[in-house]
Chains A and B, each alone.
Chain A
Amino acid sequence: MIRRVAAAIEARWRALRGGRFEADMDEEIRFHLEHATQRNIERGMDPDGARRAAVREFGGFDSVEGTKEDVRGQTGVRFFVDARRDLRHAVRAARRSPGFTVVAIVTLALGIGANTAVFSAIDSVLLSPLPYDDSDRLVRLFSVWEGDPEGRGVLSALDFVDFREQVDAFETLAGVYTYEEQGVDLMGPDGPVRLRALPIGAGYFETYRATPLLGRTFERAEERGDALVTILSHRAWRDLTDSDPGAIGGSLTLDGRPFTIVGVMRPTFTDVVAGDVDLWIPQNLQEGGFNSRANMYLAAIGRLEPRVDIAQAQAEIDLVTARLHEEFPEEAWRTTRVVSMHEDVVRGSSTMLYVLLGASGLVLLIACVNLANLALARGTARQGELAVRLALGSGRGRLVRQLSTEALVLAAMGGAVGLAVASLGLRALIATGPESLPRAEEIGFDGSLLLFGLVVSALTALAFGVAPALGLTRGLSGSMGQEARGLDGGRGRARLRSALVGAQIALAVMLLFGAGVLMRGFVELQRLDPGFDPTAVTTFEVNLPETRYADAVSRIAFHREFHDRLEALPGVQAVGATQWLPLAGAGYQWGLRWDGEGGDTGFSVQVRIVEGDYLGALGVPVVEGRTFGPDETPDSEPVILLSESAARQAFGDAALNRLVRVGGREARVVGIVGDVAHASTGESGPTAYLPHIQFADRSWDLTVVASTASGPAAFLSGARSELASMDGQLVLYRPRTMEDIAATQIARERFAFTLMGVFAVVALALAAIGLYGVLSYVVSQRVREMGVRMALGARSSQILRLVAGRGAFVVAVGIVVGFIGALAFARTLASITFDVDVTHWPTFFGVVVVIGAASALAVALPARRATRVDPMEALRLE
């Protein structure tokens, strides 16, 4: 007993001074080898040979290291000592075979990294609740009509107020101006700056359960155009007032009017729908002015009462809607829909993200298969070393532990690199920004998935690295004679490896097919004719503050003069302006009514207020009639242009000169123009164009659109100086080219296709590596056979066929299986890509060509090596 305790203490002490233990052991074995060498020299060997013979007698070089390992294994406190030694040994082993190590780490890193990045995005965007208390009770209200039952239209302020007063299902309901932020100009020390302002009604912050840091939020009494109060975002408070705790009650001059600061929000508050806002101002919800049943511009958010579901709220809304239809039959064409806010925010992204997750899962699968293959090959190669050590008395458990440690070390290294890949990937994901992903700013790193990837790959490495070794040790029972050839176990394992490579090829086919389909969708999208020509078109916004441009006359005068000055700039071909750009989504949905055969009828159209030669600047063709000209004055007969689809839908081919009612007045159709897409997917929807000069009683934030022969930079600098010379307090805001705007619209598609492409290339590379590895292994195993065949007169071409045939078979099976998988995959793909035929034979043919080319490369190298076998060398190997 005492002896055992003493031995344990001694061992522990030895473990503590492990360095000393190692040195002692090294010296002892060196002592042995030197004496053995000396004896061999005395027997007449040359020094080199003597040295080699000594090592051989000791059991070979592997055995020297292995023996050390086993001596270590016999020391006391096994677990910790072993763990440290295993670790060191594993790192040494990794360094000894850099090829295997690098391939394994890269494989793992790509698999784990891609998955972690994509899953982190999915987790943040789709799975995690919106960042508000009880966010499952948040909803949005949208107006829909029978032509577009899934639509997400805006409401009229008067309808909204009725809902707020008559529906009990909502704890709070708040109106928001279109949910597109508006600009306001703040006069600063260096000239005017434009701030992003979001006009909101009372209850907006309450709906989000956000409380102000300082001051208060808006009240219902402030839902008026003349309530000059504002709430600052935390950032604006910091930048504009220098984080002044006494900022409440202070004044900011916005668009020339003095606003009183009544509140400051907390830095944590963000609105997932509207994003980046500098300050909030009250939205006017009073009847009269521009608020009518027909003017629809208001977005609405709400919070359901506890234990009230969307269906109940919808039922109550429908009751109120029915009453409104009776009261205002002109507006009975629309109803209002309640939609969960979470669903609305992630809409359109979820399928894409799930497809990408599936794709990255396939990449991880391929990575694991590759790892399995590598581990199998290595396990076979190490049979010799393992057999010797087992024969020397190493416990099987000991060997398994060491192999496991090696697998874990690889997995850890792969994981570390994977972490880097993931964080790069994640940064790339976020960089694509709000254009392609909602809630992009919320995306954070998901550690649990990294862990999952690590565990999966470690298990793979373990299963395929350790199992062969175990099977081997079981069969060996101490005899070493058999291991040198090791062919028996080799054949079954080679078949397994071929099957694994076949699986990889199949997965790669699926991914390449997916990438091909998405790429075609993207190309189609870019090739789509939006109905106008975005090349060489530059845009910017100008906001006329209502204080200094209080009436229609001053606004018309400004825009007319500004238009003439811009038109005179060198290189400008056509210039105009609108309140809503193409490709910016649907906006300003107004009712278009006329007297039909059965009395009043109509439908809703997209309304564009235009100034100057807007249609000319965008190259929109006039199909019939005329466009707006100098004859239009505020007092001449109101005129309107209809898009082809609007004209056809309303009047067939007899639209010209008809009278229609829109925006509260009657106007004559004087022209029919081409359809212009308001969405990147080519949807154009019926559109009506109204001349600004006749609709200037409202102050529009017009966006200037100019096609120029000179570049955008020259035009913008010219425009800036013209603007400054006309009114030094105005801001040339958000200068962009129309091509940039178009690119932003297809950012999501570009993103999906790029990511899928990356996955496909990775998959292809991994599959090719796997194929190459298997065939190289086959060749190296059969060098002797090849040698014999060559010696017996086989031609190179026959040998080549032997090796290549095997590769071709594996590839062919993989392609067939992959194609079946791709067909299953195609249905899901169809939902995220632009309208293309997903079962497209040329795409599939392309995939086969790519796979074939990569496979040919992977087959060619080992096959050539096989034909280069020198029969004499091959036979001497034994």
Chain B
Amino acid sequence: MSRDKSDVLLGTLDLLVLKLLEHGPMHGWGLAVQLESVTDGVFQVNQGSLYPALQRLQRKGKVRSRWGTSENARRARYYELTGSGVEQLATEIENWARTSGAVNRVIAFEGGAT
């Protein structure tokens, strides 16, 4: 594992997975590939960590899964958003915007009178 890529920030994995699923049902491998290509490999998602996350989201009712046929005619488990998942995504995005906005403001902060 190359070490110049940062691990995916803890807690953001759910957001990324939900966001990718917004474009339609996808299997775990597909999600791993998309995550890697969309982020230009900046986020080195440990692929193994996807599956517990998916299982967790499924248990919470944010996604559901069914078995389908993949592009090369293999049996694959596809995950898709549920209604609650769509709501969750909106909340997560809002949270992220708030957090990253705050972080950006800190970075932009040049110092001043205290």
| Chain A residues packing against B (C-beta within 8 Å) | 3-4, 6-7, 11, 24-25, 27-29, 31-32, 35-36, 39, 56-59, 63-64, 66-67, 70-71, 73-76, 391-394, 478, 481
Contacts and interface: CB of A to CB of B under 8 A. Distances in A.
B24 interface: no
A54 to B, nearest CB: 9
A75 B48 contact: no
Given A24-B77, A32-B32, A36-B32, 19 more contacts: A3-B61, A3-B84, A28-B51, A29-B51, A31-B28, A31-B29, A36-B29, A59-B46, A63-B48, A64-B48, A67-B48, A67-B51, A70-B52, A70-B55, A75-B55, A391-B7, A393-B49, A393-B53, A478-B10
Interface in B54-91: 55-56, 58-61, 67, 70, 74-77, 84
Contacts of A394: 52
B32 to A, nearest CB: 7
B35 to A, nearest CB: 12
Nearest to A394: B52
Contacts of B46: 58-59, 63, 391-392
Nearest to A62: B48
Contacts of A3: 61, 84
A24 B27 CA distance: 13
29 contacts: A11-B59, A25-B51, A28-B27, A28-B51, A28-B76, A31-B29, A31-B76, A31-B77, A32-B32, A32-B47, A36-B29, A58-B46, A59-B48, A59-B49, A63-B46, A63-B48, A67-B48, A71-B51, A71-B52, A73-B52, A74-B56, A74-B58, A75-B55, A76-B59, A391-B7, A391-B49, A393-B13, A393-B52, A393-B53
Contacts of B13: 393
Given A36-B47, A391-B7, A4 B28 contact: no
A399 to B, nearest CB: 13
Contacts, number: 85
Nearest to B11: A393
Contacts of A391: 7, 46, 49
Contacts of A71: 51-52, 55
Interface residues of B, number: 30
A323 B21 CA distance: 109
**A-B CB proximity, top 4 nearest:** A74-B55, A59-B48, A70-B52, A67-B48
Given A3-B84, A73-B52, A58 B47 contact: yes
B28 A28 contact: yes
B63 to A, nearest CB: 12
A25 B54 CA distance: 12
Contacts of B70: 31
A437 to B, nearest CB: 59
A393 to B, nearest CB: 6
A31 B48 contact: no
Interface of B: 1, 3, 7, 10, 13, 27-29, 32-33, 46-49, 51-53, 55-56, 58-61, 67, 70, 74-77, 84
Given A24-B77, A28-B28, A75-B59, A57 B52 contact: no
B94 to A, nearest CB: 22
A76 B10 CA distance: 23
Contacts of B32: 32, 36
B59 A28 contact: no
A435 to B, nearest CB: 65
Contacts of B1: 56-57
A59 B8 CA distance: 14
A114 B76 CA distance: 56
A3 B27 CA distance: 23
A75 B7 CA distance: 25
A39 B53 CA distance: 23
Nearest to B82: A3
Given A3-B61, A7-B61, A36-B29, A74 B52 contact: yes
A66 B59 contact: no
Which of B1, B27, B48, B56 has the most chain A CB atoms closer than 10 A to its own CB? B48
B29 A32 contact: yes
Q: Which one of B67, B70, B77 has the greatest number of beta carbons of chain A within 10 Å?
A: B77
B74 to A, nearest CB: 6
B89 to A, nearest CB: 16
A393 B48 CA distance: 10
Nearest to A70: B52
Contacts of A74: 52, 55-56, 58-59
Contacts of A67: 48-49, 51-52
A28 B77 contact: yes
B87 to A, nearest CB: 12
A7 B60 contact: yes
A481 B3 contact: yes
A560 B34 CA distance: 114
A58 B33 CA distance: 12
Contacts of B3: 481
Given A4-B61, A71-B55, A66 B10 contact: no
